[in-house]
Structure 1
Amino acid sequence: MKNSIAESVANFLKDYKPFSFLSFEDLKSISKTIRVIHLEKNQKLFQINDTLHDVFYVMNSGVIHLSVISDAEETLLNKCYSGDVFGLRPFFAKNNYQMTAKTNEEAILYAIPIESFKPFVVQNTEVLHFLLESFAQNSNNSADKNNNKLISDSVQLSEFQNDFSFFQALTYNKKPLVVNYDQTIREVATLMADNLLDSVFVNNDNKLVGIVTDADFRGKVATGKQAIQSHIDKIMTHAVITVSENISLAEAQLVMLSHKVHHLCVTIDGTIYTDVKGVITQNDLVQAQANSPGVLIKEIKRSTNPSELKSTRNSLANIIQQAVTKNIPLQHIFNVSGEITLAIIRRAIEMSILELGSPPVPFAFLSIGSQGRKEQLLLTDHDNFLIFNDVDIQQVRGVKDYFNQLTKKVNEILEKVGFKHCEFGHNANNQNYSKSLTEWEKQYESWINTPGEFTNEHCSIFFDYEFVFGDQNLENSITETIFKAKNKALFFDYLGNDALKKPAPLNFFKKFNEEEDGQHKDKFNIKSKAINQLVDIARLLAIHHGLRGINNTFSRYKELAIKDTSNTEIYLNAADTFLLLSRYRTLEGLKNDNSGEYIDLEKISKSDKEKLKESLHVLKDLEEIVKDTFQLTQFS
């Protein structure tokens, strides 16, 4: 590419992330390797199962649609416009493309060779983190784009093509061998054999100068090129690649790939001038990938008893802890955790059916509450219900008896896995929540048409459901029943008042409303005094605005920001606040191995405490939206 063209491309790239993190000179250097591609309307750049390209892409002009095949139909995931970056799969995965990129109009794009861009990724953590976050994203909503958002080339999380293991912290040997440069080859070989290690680092005057691996012994000593009495520096490799502590799998993988090495030296600050703290090998990367969500899903499908499912759930807990620590976007963690949790429940149902025999009629098993919203990161209770096809009156008893046995076995398995029994009895083993489709339709109509009269105070969680197993048409029928109801004024009145009656997080003096007595005295209940109200208001407004199939609180607020543009800023703040509160709760729960509801504010830094307090102000704004939107009278 001529210098003038390269400079023109560099000028274009500098306004978009991650290129804006690089110097203009670096961009000019990269631009010299870039190919300009012209595509006609409806032309495909790549499609599902195509072999990965050796480049990734940046849109210059035009529009490209990214789509996947879902339920035998092409589903649009996103649209790429000027400045958008896509096609990042070759950076992070080895399998073929998992989506199709096709022009919607004539387009010009830049193809950036991955090999020429990798050094800039390795050297610049901002570029790396931006690419990692992009690969983790999975937005199905094209309206959720902004100018500097990269387009995920990952498919739906249920297929786990955007492998979460790339964000895991690594476990590695933290007691590596370090020898002096003037020790003999024989001495070092003996040390390596005694410690069952395949590598050793070499120091000279407390400075890291080299590495020796078993490959060096095979190639330089076993062949007779060097005598075993020689000093170890005669066979060492001088270029030692160093990295800092707490490196992620993705970072380690990229560094190994770019430098074509199989060992990384971990030092305090990632340079050769500080103490050696460990060694990372390719085998460590393989071991880390063995705990990826995709592998866990396969393990779940192979499980034959509750203890195996429990082991998988424990592995998920480790992934969650690592992901939260690494500041992976919480919404992504919710999605991954939700998919694995649903897979565990699904397997529990399959195991129960294998024991009982085939069900007498089609049915659907649905999770509700936090599981239904895919917001359950901690091992709390399990809430669910079951719908079965309508049957003749003479068959009802036998059908109900089968499903009572089925749900009992499922719940027993889930409780052995570690999920607690719901204190309100909101699970399918309760005969009130295992009913025919007609009974369920009447139940939902009752909740909507006569709230308060025949409505228990926890019915609202039944409007947060996620299909788990069986005939999805039954779930669709329930959704249709909810949204076809003509007059929901009383129902909105009931839900609105219920949301506004939640205990306030802050008192009159703008201090946290902490528990006044009991075992949690002086702690803040972040669930009942903050998160619950965000969840309730999101549910109320989602039903009001007809948002079908969107159960997650964060996603509901993001969609409301598009639907109700007069309150966009409030909804976006609410979405961020929900993630912030959920993060505090998750950290508390992981630390204390509990539900994380009660936060010890004394153990939170002053700045975090102020951030938490500031975020809660959005609740007042949401309350005003509820009051302005609905006539809250009867249940006040």
Structure 2
Amino acid sequence: MKNTIAERIADFIKSFPPFDQLSKEDLYAIAKEVNITYLEKDKNVYTEGEAPHDRFYMIHKGAIALKKEINGKLETVDRFDEGDIFGLRPLFAKEHYAITALTEEESILYGVPLATFKPLITQNRDVVDFLIESFASNTENPFSKEMHGSLYDNRLDVVANDKELFELQPVRYTKKVITAKAETKIKHIGRLMKQHRIGSIVIEDDNIPIGIVTDEDLRNKVVTGEHSIENNVSQIMSSPVLCYPKGVSISQAQLTMMKHNVSHLCVTADGTPNSKIIGIISQQDITVMRGSNPTVLMKAIKRSKSTKELRHIRKKIMVLLDGFMEQNIPLTQTSKIIFELNDATVKRIIERCILKMEKQPPVSFAWMSFGSQGRKEQLLHTDQDNGIVFDGVEENELETVRDYFLLLAKKVNKRLNIIGFDFCPADIMAKNPKWCLSLDEWKNQFNQWTSNTGDDEILLSSIFFDFDITYGDASLTNQLSEHIFLITKNNHLFLSKLGASALRSASPLGFFRQFLVEQDGEYKDFFDIKKRAIMPIVDAGRLFALSNQIKNINNTAERFEKMAELFPEDEEFYLSCSYTSKALLKFRTKHGLLHNDDGRFIELAALTKEEKMKLKRCFKTIARVQELIKLKYNINNFM
């Protein structure tokens, strides 16, 4: 027998997210378990500090205010009405309520049991999207400051594609806000908009937003004759103002604008209308940011017609990276997306440079990226490390073929420099004849490095053993890779020397557990995170990959994850190495973006105590992996 009450509930909730993404059967299954609650005005649904209920709530009729105690006074931080859900985040985070939910009028609430709803997360992708992108309010945002800060954060691993990652970025708001008083004449508001070429003005009282007026208000309320230009702006402004704290995501801002049919949001110190104005978000800001969507950027790269265009796109890639870092997106997803965009950029430059050559390549070739780009770990603007491998030719044709590829490489290296990739100080670039070689020449080069190994050979091996094809014939790089594993297999002498090199950078902490800093030069008293922390863990990952014949994996974190698979008895240790590599790279990237440099040198005085503690935990892992290398590769003979 059908449950008519459940049918009515299902019929109501199906019109609102995330229930609008569910099947009729799932809707009915939820509706049967819904608890209906009637509350009079000014009644608590739950209070701040209370243990979470076993269900979250949807408003069938009425309105709910979310309130928080600020400076001893209960302040409204958000409001909800028919169709909105609230009280969801504490259930997933398994924490007490951080706010009080109070009825602003007589209300009927649907209580949805988490036990019934939660299994749908793994079954319905669109429901996952909703939970990730838009929880009940900004104060219950699952990506709030309280849940930020972990270098080892894998919380967002459920995010599967670049579109979702883009939507989670914080909106870049306008910080220079033009304001006016409530008693300002409408005609003066119009003049301000014309003078500053803007479409909105925030009306404030003691820097607290009390209203907002837009050019649309002028068109609809003044030009029509409804109000005189001599009237005060308070007569046409929209109030109260919809406010959010800085860090509000693109999806959340856009959904709020759509829901309330507005084109602007105010950014305030604490996200409420009761605090200082710090910025304004417009629909235009979001439209502009959509130009930094990874999919949009990829399309723009592929159809770009000039180096100037690519340079502009490269700047947008950095904006995208900054957004990912600020929103604490896991480094695994961030690295993959930035790598693909960087790789596509280089590929597009090569394609255009080949068109500028007088003729097509005389033989098959491949453009190789070395170092951090070869490991898919290049996030910031760093220098170029690249080379060319081309198919074998007769001896009398070799230099002619090489000259063609050197000219091509010169064009490519120059354009890469223009868009932001500095020339390599050590000249490890394809335009250098030493790194523009035939397949046989490359094989001979690796033979020399692994059989007649000195300090220089070890240094070069640490750069060239991590390579990835960016453009061209993959069979050439595959053959080269197979050759490397062939000549290093059971090559204990070379591996031991490689291991000794991995220990050249001692533990980043000194005898008294203090950070080891630079003693002189431009960066005196700064911490070199690349030399003292990142390179030791990268070197260890490469060493383990070669000695265990781990093929087709160049990324440091992934190399350690593979080691965890191969040696399950030490899984925890190898996974900690993987986490450490990602944490250090993320740390460097954040500081590089903050100071607009490559993030290599860190000013210790600028670090918080929490940041120092996290780094020291990483250093403990580095010390452990170095001890393992000493034991495993008989290093004492080479120290």
TM-score higher than 0.5: yes
CA drift at 1:206:
7.6
Matched position secondary structure for 1:379: coil
Higher deviation after alignment, 304-313 or 256-265: 304-313
The 8 Å contact of residues 173 and 279 in structure 2, kept in 1 or not, is answered as no
For 1:290-330, what per-residue CA distance to the aligned partner results, in whole angstroms no more than 9, with x for missing partners?
23344443444444444443343344344444543444434
Gaps of 5+ in 1: 37-56, 61-82, 93-111, 134-143, 155-159
From 398, 404, 415, give the equivalent of 2:417. Answer: 415
Determine the structure 1 residue equivalent to 2:122. 84
Aligned letter for 2:286? Answer: L
For 1:553-575, what per-residue CA distance to the aligned partner results, in whole angstroms no more than 9, with x for missing partners?
22323333333222223223323
The 8 Å contact of residues 18 and 130 in structure 1, kept in 2 or not, is answered as no
Aligned letter for 1:87? Answer: R
Higher deviation after alignment, 464-473 or 271-280: 271-280
For 1:6-34, what per-residue CA distance to the aligned partner results, in whole angstroms no more than 9, with x for missing partners?
47xx96999x98851488999x9473899
The 8 Å contact of residues 177 and 201 in structure 1, kept in 2 or not, is answered as yes
Aligned letter for 1:499? Answer: A
Determine the structure 2 residue equivalent to 1:433. 435
Distance in 1 separating the partners of 2:631 and 2:56 = 45
Determine the structure 2 residue equivalent to 1:20. 92
Q: Where do residues 503-514 of structure 1 align in structure 2 (5 Å cutoff)?
A: 503-514=506-517
The 8 Å contact of residues 336 and 376 in structure 2, kept in 1 or not, is answered as yes
Higher deviation after alignment, 400-409 or 301-310: 301-310
Distance 1:227 1:586, change over 3 A: closer
Determine the structure 1 residue equivalent to 2:283. 282
Determine the structure 1 residue equivalent to 2:159. 152
The 8 Å contact of residues 556 and 578 in structure 2, kept in 1 or not, is answered as yes
Distance in 2 separating the partners of 1:331 and 1:631 = 33
Distance in 2 separating the partners of 1:13 and 1:496 = 55
Distance in 2 separating the partners of 1:454 and 1:211 = 66
Distance in 2 separating the partners of 1:17 and 1:364 = 50
Determine the structure 2 residue equivalent to 1:559. 562
Determine the structure 2 residue equivalent to 1:41. none
Higher deviation after alignment, 377-386 or 438-447: 438-447
1:124 aligns with 2:196: no
Distance in 2 separating the partners of 1:620 and 1:278 = 46
Q: Where do residues 195-214 of structure 1 align in structure 2 (5 Å cutoff)?
A: 195-202=196-203, 208-214=209-215
Determine the structure 1 residue equivalent to 2:388. 386
1:547 aligns with 2:550: yes
Determine the structure 2 residue equivalent to 1:468. 470
Distance in 2 separating the partners of 1:213 and 1:593 = 35
The 8 Å contact of residues 179 and 204 in structure 2, kept in 1 or not, is answered as no
Determine the structure 2 residue equivalent to 1:43. none
Distance in 1 separating the partners of 2:544 and 2:303 = 41
CA drift at 1:535:
0.5
From 487, 491, 499, give the equivalent of 1:488. Answer: 491
CA drift at 1:347:
2.5
Higher deviation after alignment, 416-425 or 183-192: 183-192
Distance in 2 separating the partners of 1:233 and 1:454 = 74
Aligned letter for 1:573? Answer: S
The 8 Å contact of residues 163 and 294 in structure 1, kept in 2 or not, is answered as no
Distance 1:363 1:511, change over 3 A: same
1:524 aligns with 2:524: no
Aligned letter for 1:179? Answer: K
Distance 1:128 1:614, change over 3 A: closer
1:597 aligns with 2:635: no
Higher deviation after alignment, 620-629 or 123-132: 123-132
Name the larger-Rg structure. 2
CA drift at 1:591:
4.9
Matched position secondary structure for 2:366: strand
Determine the structure 1 residue equivalent to 2:74. none
Distance in 1 separating the partners of 2:202 and 2:432 = 62
For 1:459-511, what per-residue CA distance to the aligned partner results, in whole angstroms no more than 9, with x for missing partners?
12222112110112222222333345543333322221211232332223322
Distance in 1 separating the partners of 2:329 and 2:599 = 19
Determine the structure 2 residue equivalent to 1:267. 268
Paired positions, count = 550
CA drift at 1:233:
4.2
Aligned letter for 1:213? Answer: T
Distance 1:208 1:344, change over 3 A: closer
Aligned letter for 1:334? Answer: S
The 8 Å contact of residues 499 and 533 in structure 1, kept in 2 or not, is answered as yes
The 8 Å contact of residues 171 and 281 in structure 2, kept in 1 or not, is answered as no
CA drift at 1:273:
1.4
CA drift at 1:533:
0.5
The 8 Å contact of residues 525 and 598 in structure 1, kept in 2 or not, is answered as yes
TM-score, structure 2 as length reference = 0.74
Distance in 1 separating the partners of 2:242 and 2:157 = 30
CA drift at 1:383:
0.9
Determine the structure 2 residue equivalent to 1:47. none
Distance 1:198 1:593, change over 3 A: closer
Distance in 1 separating the partners of 2:312 and 2:188 = 43
CA drift at 1:166:
4.3
Determine the structure 1 residue equivalent to 2:73. none
Higher deviation after alignment, 602-611 or 383-392: 602-611
1:31 aligns with 2:112: yes
Matched position secondary structure for 2:142: helix
Distance in 2 separating the partners of 1:578 and 1:502 = 15
Determine the structure 2 residue equivalent to 1:76. none
Percent identity between the aligned chains? 32
Distance in 1 separating the partners of 2:56 and 2:364 = 55
Distance in 2 separating the partners of 1:608 and 1:490 = 39
Aligned letter for 1:458? Answer: L
Distance 1:203 1:524, change over 3 A: closer
Matched position secondary structure for 2:573: helix
Determine the structure 1 residue equivalent to 2:33. 5
Determine the structure 2 residue equivalent to 1:620. 623
The 8 Å contact of residues 88 and 153 in structure 1, kept in 2 or not, is answered as no
Matched position secondary structure for 1:265: strand
Distance in 1 separating the partners of 2:206 and 2:411 = 66
Q: Where do residues 135-284 of structure 1 align in structure 2 (5 Å cutoff)?
A: 151-154=158-161, 160-162=162-164, 164=166, 166-172=168-174, 174-180=176-182, 185-202=186-203, 208-226=209-227, 228=229, 231-284=232-285
CA drift at 1:629:
3.4
From 382, 394, 398, give the equivalent of 2:400. Answer: 398
TM-score, structure 1 as length reference = 0.74
The 8 Å contact of residues 165 and 288 in structure 1, kept in 2 or not, is answered as no
For 1:77-98, what per-residue CA distance to the aligned partner results, in whole angstroms no more than 9, with x for missing partners?
xxxxxx6375249958xxxxxx
For 1:418-459, what per-residue CA distance to the aligned partner results, in whole angstroms no more than 9, with x for missing partners?
433333332222223222223333444554455449935321
Determine the structure 1 residue equivalent to 2:4. none
CA drift at 1:353:
1.0
Distance in 1 separating the partners of 2:249 and 2:156 = 22
Distance in 1 separating the partners of 2:244 and 2:290 = 19
Aligned letter for 1:5? Answer: E
CA drift at 1:613:
2.7
Distance 1:415 1:506, change over 3 A: same
1:360 aligns with 2:362: yes
CA drift at 1:184:
5.2
CA drift at 1:125:
1.3
